[in-house]
């Protein structure tokens, strides 16, 4: 084996003695368990959900392998279901917008006006809640928004209201507030990493050349951080399509979202009905993920901290 | 954040810019309150004497922590969670690391497509993974739901995490070090064990810690794939649905402390990894 030596280190890879089918299989072997999990426990079950969504149940709730479009037709013929689907989209859009605006201001502040050291620390503070129990964070909102919650107590003490109000909980408002709470750290994290790379002297230059702050923002800053904005949108909007815990805890009967329908159908063993809705959500999610695949920087969001 | 002085901050700024900066500072403070208020309430209520957690605080007590220690079913749920998290972390780390090597070092025909395929289980909402696994286990494979099915369900999204984190570290790995080892007579296996694995160990450890944290906290997939034995989150959920249970706040506080510990370890480890000189600058920021 001849190897060129430069500065004492071998720069050429050692020649691989193996070739052929058997060698290729040996090379692939370490990948197989992960491949099995990805295919066998993710893609196959999703495909199965698709198949089940075209089957029906008998009176004993046993699934019958009889092909039918009934589950989809029933969904679209029920105005309540369709409204829930549309509301979920609207809620997703609203929460995404609120998270973007709220997080952008913070990320901008940290990237532009705060030293990198402090910005890192502040970011850590923003991420910590996100790593604590999701279930318990949502639960603790009941202590704030609930009937005997802090918000009602404060408003009553101030004399704004005379008895506990349900304005903020067990409806869409409660779901909205808590969803913003859950997802704003994602948005802040993603937006900060793109603002961190932005050279703010460009804005100053634009202003020197006569652009007002708004124009400098729109034509200089915004185009450059667009990938970050898109990533943030995906990381907030998509999980909301599958949110059922937050609505079930603070949404009450009127604040339920589409995934609650899925969960309820499954809890009542109406599997094909649930599978049909589940599959529709999956299609929306997969289309979004594949369309925006370039913006899925999962490692950046999770491995940072 | 007054000490965060930036070059721009010393430049002459208009009155407006100063106002903007103050507004942003206030906004940052508001966000912090928004993020920490619920957690603060949780911790405070865990020490509150009142049986219905709420304002005003009636008095300090450790009673709810005492209640916890006597709660057999809760302790069993904690035990189940630890079993699941340990199994998930070990399996995900080993399986994910092996796959990352193949993914980065060739052998996979479409590495980019494969990488995107691995981001899907992370991004697809848990409820979809949960219900499709429920169909798969209960209706197709006829497997009884148990802690085993929970472990399998959690591997669906923890393995991809490890794959992506380790692969991103391997990508920036300087292979000349390994080739030098080969040149000095190390077999490929020896080079991986003694040179590559120690150098990428921070990423592997980070993957393991993320797996543990996500596993202990995981509710949605677990909720659909669990049998008769609850994990801590599913137990808490059932209790919350059942009625007001002040000791839940005490559990929450303990879990908060535990997660913070794991989180701190993870950031220290990752921070150390980040300072390694052989990382590309772009990734050092990530």
The domain limits of chain A are 79-302
Highest-confidence range of A43-57, B43-57, B180-194, by mean pLDDT? A43-57
pLDDT above 70: residue A7: no
CA A278 to chain centre: 16
A269 touches chain B (CB under 8 A): no
The continuous run of DSSP H or E covering A6 comes out as strand A5-6
With pLDDT > 90 as the criterion, what percentage of chain B qualifies?
32
A249 touches chain B (CB under 8 A): yes
With pLDDT > 90 as the criterion, what percentage of chain A qualifies?
33
pLDDT above 70: residue A12: no
B71 touches chain A (CB under 8 A): no
pLDDT above 80: residue B83: yes
Confirm if A41 and B156 have CB atoms less than 8 A apart.
yes
B67 touches chain A (CB under 8 A): no
Identify the DSSP state of B48: B
Q: What is the pLDDT of residues A99-146, one digit of tens each?
A: 999 999 999 999 888 888 888 888 888 888 877 788 888 888 887 887
pLDDT above 60: residue B168: yes
pLDDT above 60: residue A222: yes
B175 compared with B236, residue with greater pLDDT: B236
**Global pTM value:** 0.85
A7 touches chain B (CB under 8 A): no
Enumerate the β-bridge partners of residue A57. Answer: A63
Q: How confident is the model at residue B280 (pLDDT cuts 50, 70, 90)?
A: very low
Domain A79-302, second-level architecture: Orthogonal Bundle (1.10)
Distance (Å) from the alpha carbon of A77 to chain B's nearest alpha carbon: 23
**Rounded-to-integer distance, Cα A217 and Cα A203, Å:** 7
Q: How confident is the model at residue B275 (pLDDT cuts 50, 70, 90)?
A: low
Tell me the two tokens of residue A133: 């129990």
A1 compared with B87, residue with greater pLDDT: B87
Cα dihedral B191, B197, B199, B203, rounded to 10, equals 150
| pLDDT for residue A1 | 44
Q: What is the pLDDT of residues B85-110, one digit of tens each?
A: 999 999 999 999 999 989 988 777 88
pLDDT above 80: residue B74: yes
When scoring B16, B17, B29, B31 by the number of chain A Cβ atoms within 10 A, the one with the most, hence best to mutate, is B31
The CB-based long-range contact list for B234-241 (8 Å cut-off, 24+ gap) reads B234/B77, B235/B73, B235/B74, B235/B77, B236/A135, B236/A136, B236/A139, B236/B77, B237/A135, B237/A245, B240/A139, B240/A249
| pLDDT for residue B159 | 96
| pLDDT for residue B49 | 74
When scoring B9, B105, B132 by the number of chain A Cβ atoms within 10 A, the one with the most, hence best to mutate, is B132
When scoring B48, B88, B128 by the number of chain A Cβ atoms within 10 A, the one with the most, hence best to mutate, is B128
A65 touches chain B (CB under 8 A): no
Please tell me which of the candidates A14, A41, A234 has its beta carbon nearest to residue B152.
A41
Distance (Å) from the alpha carbon of B35 to chain A's nearest alpha carbon: 7
pLDDT above 90: residue A95: yes
Average pLDDT, chain A: 84
Q: How confident is the model at residue A163 (pLDDT cuts 50, 70, 90)?
A: confident
Please tell me which of the candidates B24, B160, B219 has its beta carbon nearest to residue A108.
B24
pLDDT above 70: residue A18: no
Please tell me which of the candidates A144, A148, A204 has its beta carbon nearest to residue B41.
A144
Tell me the two tokens of residue B282: 């772009």
Superfamily of domain B73-284: MetI-like (1.10.3720.10)
**Chain B residues touching residue A65 (CB < 8 angstroms):** none
Tell me the two tokens of residue A19: 């070739």
| pLDDT for residue B140 | 82
**Chain A residues touching residue B50 (CB < 8 angstroms):** none
Q: How confident is the model at residue A249 (pLDDT cuts 50, 70, 90)?
A: confident
Please tell me which of the candidates B38, B107, B133 has its beta carbon nearest to residue A27.
B107
Tell me the two tokens of residue B16: 């407006």
Q: What is the pLDDT of residues A57-92, one digit of tens each?
A: 777 777 778 788 888 988 899 999 999 999 999 999
| pLDDT for residue B221 | 94
Residues 255-284 of B with CB under 8 A from A: 255-256, 259-260, 263, 266-267, 270
| pLDDT for residue A300 | 61
When scoring B15, B127, B245 by the number of chain A Cβ atoms within 10 A, the one with the most, hence best to mutate, is B127
**Nearest chain B alpha carbon to A64:** B139
**Rounded-to-integer distance, Cα B120 and Cα B156, Å:** 10
Tell me the two tokens of residue A115: 């030293």
Distance (Å) from the alpha carbon of B198 to chain A's nearest alpha carbon: 19
**Chain B residues touching residue A262 (CB < 8 angstroms):** 127-128, 131
Confirm if A143 and A250 have CB atoms less than 8 A apart.
no
pLDDT above 80: residue B205: yes
A211 compared with A271, residue with greater pLDDT: A271
**Chain B residues touching residue A267 (CB < 8 angstroms):** none
Q: What is the pLDDT of residues B244-255, one digit of tens each?
A: 677 788 888 888
Tell me the two tokens of residue B197: 């694995």
User: Within 10 Å of residue B43's Cβ, how many Cβ atoms?
Assistant: 17
CB-count exposure of residue A253 (10 Å: 0-12, 13-18, 19+): exposed
Average pLDDT, chain B: 82
**Rounded-to-integer distance, Cα A125 and Cα A45, Å:** 38
The contacts of residue B104 (CB under 8 Å, 6+ apart) are B111, B167, B170, B171
**Rounded-to-integer distance, Cα B89 and Cα B93, Å:** 6
pLDDT above 60: residue B3: no
| pLDDT for residue A19 | 61
Distance (Å) from the alpha carbon of B184 to chain A's nearest alpha carbon: 9
A3 touches chain B (CB under 8 A): yes
Confirm if A140 and B41 have CB atoms less than 8 A apart.
yes
| pLDDT for residue A13 | 59
pLDDT above 50: residue B277: no
**Chain A residues touching residue B4 (CB < 8 angstroms):** 113-115, 117-119
Within chain B, what is the greatest distance between any pair of CA atoms?
72
A68 compared with A39, residue with greater pLDDT: A39
The CB-based long-range contact list for A4-9 (8 Å cut-off, 24+ gap) reads A9/B176, A9/B177, A9/B179, A9/B180
Over the range B113-150, which residues count as b (16 or more CB within 10 Å of their CB) and which as e? ebbbbbbbbbbbbbbbbbbbbbbbbbeeeeeebebebb
Distance (Å) from the alpha carbon of A109 to chain B's nearest alpha carbon: 6
ipTM rounded to 2 decimals: 0.86
| pLDDT for residue B285 | 39
Inter-chain contacts counted by CB atoms under 8 A, chains A and B = 311
- The residue extents of the domains of chain B are 7-46, 73-284
Among B68, B59, B219, B124, which residue's Cα sits nearest to residue A136? Answer: B219
Tell me the two tokens of residue B165: 């984190």
Average the pLDDT over each of A23-27, A32-36, A37-41, A169-173 and give the range with the smallest value.
A23-27
| pLDDT for residue B279 | 42
Contact across the interface for A112 and B8, Cβ inside 8 Å: yes
Q: How confident is the model at residue B7 (pLDDT cuts 50, 70, 90)?
A: low
């Amino acid at each position: 084996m001849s190897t060129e030596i430069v500065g004492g280190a071998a720069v050429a890879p050692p020649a691989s003695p193996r070739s052929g089918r058997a060698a290729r299989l040996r090379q692939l072997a370490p990948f197989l368990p992960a491949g099995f999990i990805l295919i066998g426990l993710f893609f196959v079950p999703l495909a199965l959900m698709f198949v089940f969504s075209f089957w029906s149940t008998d009176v004993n709730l046993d699934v019958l392998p009889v092909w039918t479009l009934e589950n989809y037709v029933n969904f679209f013929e029920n105005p309540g279901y369709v409204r829930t689907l549309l509301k979920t989209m609207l809620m997703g859009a609203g929460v995404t917008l609120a998270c973007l605006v709220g997080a952008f201001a913070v990320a901008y502040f940290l990237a532009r006006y705060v030293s990198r050291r402090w910005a890192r620390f502040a970011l850590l503070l923003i991420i910590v809640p996100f790593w604590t129990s999701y279930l318990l964070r949502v639960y603790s909102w009941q202590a704030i928004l609930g009937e005997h919650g802090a918000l009602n107590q404060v408003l009553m003490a101030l004399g704004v209201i005379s008895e506990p109000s349900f304005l903020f909980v067990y409806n869409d408002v409660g779901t909205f507030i808590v969803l913003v709470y859950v997802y704003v750290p994602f948005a802040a994290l993603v937006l900060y990493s793109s603002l961190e790379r932005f050279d703010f002297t460009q804005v100053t230059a634009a202003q020197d050349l006569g652009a007002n702050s708004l124009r400098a923002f729109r034509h200089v800053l915004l185009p450059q951080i667009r990938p970050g904005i898109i990533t943030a949108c995906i990381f907030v909007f998509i999980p909301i399509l599958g949110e059922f815990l937050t609505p079930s805890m603070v949404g009450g009967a009127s604040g339920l979202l589409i995934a609650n329908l899925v969960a309820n159908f499954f809890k009542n063993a109406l599997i094909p009905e649930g599978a049909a809705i589940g599959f529709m959500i999956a299609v929306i999610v997969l289309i979004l993920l594949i369309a925006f695949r370039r913006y899925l920087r999962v490692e950046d969001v999770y491995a940072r901290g | 954040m007054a000490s965060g002085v930036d070059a721009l901050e010393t430049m002459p700024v208009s009155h407006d810019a100063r106002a903007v900066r103050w507004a942003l500072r206030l906004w940052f403070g508001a966000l912090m309150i928004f993020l920490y208020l619920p957690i603060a309430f949780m911790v405070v209520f865990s020490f509150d004497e009142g049986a219905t957690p709420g304002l005003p605080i009636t008095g300090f007590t450790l009673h709810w922590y005492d209640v916890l220690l006597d709660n057999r079913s809760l302790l069993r749920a904690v035990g189940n969670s630890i079993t699941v998290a340990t199994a998930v972390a070990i399996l995900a780390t080993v399986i994910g690391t092996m796959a990352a090597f193949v993914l980065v070092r060739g052998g996979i025909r479409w590495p980019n497509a494969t990488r995107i395929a691995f981001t899907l289980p992370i991004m697809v909402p848990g409820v979809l993974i949960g219900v499709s696994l429920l169909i798969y286990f209960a209706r197709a494979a006829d497997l009884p739901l148990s802690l085993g099915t929970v472990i399998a369900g959690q591997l669906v999204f923890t393995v991809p995490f490890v794959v992506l984190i380790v692969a991103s570290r391997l990508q920036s790995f300087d292979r000349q070090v390994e080739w030098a080892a080969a040149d000095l007579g190390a077999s490929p296996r020896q080079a991986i064990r003694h040179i590559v694995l120690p150098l990428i160990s921070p990423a592997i450890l980070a993957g393991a810690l993320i797996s543990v944290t996500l596993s202990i906290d995981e509710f949605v997939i677990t909720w659909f794939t669990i049998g008769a034995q609850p994990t801590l989150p599913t137990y808490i959920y059932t209790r919350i649905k059942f009625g007001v249970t002040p000791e839940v706040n005490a559990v929450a506080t303990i879990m908060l402390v535990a997660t913070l510990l794991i989180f701190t370890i993870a950031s220290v480890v990752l921070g150390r990894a980040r300072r390694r000189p052989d990382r590309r600058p772009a990734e050092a920021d990530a």
